[in-house]
Amino acid sequence: MNMYLIGLTGGMGSGKSTVADCLRSNGIPVIDADVIAHKIMNEESTFDKIHEIFGKNVFDKDGSLNKVKFSSVLFTNTVKRKKLNEFVHPKVWDEMMNETEKYVTEGSKVIFLDVPLLIESGWHTRVNETWLVKADYNERIERLRLRTNLSTEEIKKRIEIQMPESEKEEYADKIINNGGTIEETGKQVIEELQKIIEKTEKR
């Protein structure tokens, strides 16, 4: 496929959504791995795998997944989380590639993949370059506290299980600082996007 594929990543609360919205408003396709993963998580085959890995305790009596119990185990049990990711991640990647093909068919040359675990999963090696969105640690906590029902302590635990931003920076080709205003973030995105567009036009 004749395209330039860019991985967009960042830790919880870093502001990836702000960057993704800016890209979309400028006509650039952004494929959201979380949206695809959510769909796959609701498939029967995934429910069977969750039952196999996590047991019946994360399900209610009516057979539905108890998201509170499931999340509690998911974010504390590294082994079980890894097993589930090994099942779900390939499905997510395949679906992202299907969507990518559709955009290429429509004429898109630059496509972003919004993937929280882009580097952890090794998918940064499958894209042309990686953009990392970062923000101050305390600001990330405050953003997550305002938009979720999680306590500050729970938020910190979830951030801590992710790769530290300092390590992610080593893999990033571009770093978008999302610690200021939306306008300031947007300016960075547009500047970097223009460079990419100029590069792809010369290919």
Known binding-site positions for ATP: 13-18
**Phi, psi (degrees; rounded to nearest 5) at 59:** -115, 150
**CA dihedral over 78, 80, 82, 85, signed as positive or negative:** negative
What is the edge-to-edge ordering of all strands in the sheet holding 4-9? Answer: 30-32, 110-114, 4-9, 129-134, 174-177
Classified as helix, coil or strand, 113 is strand
CA distance linking residue 53 with residue 80, whole number of Å: 6
Classified as helix, coil or strand, 39 is helix
Which segments are annotated as binding site?
13-18
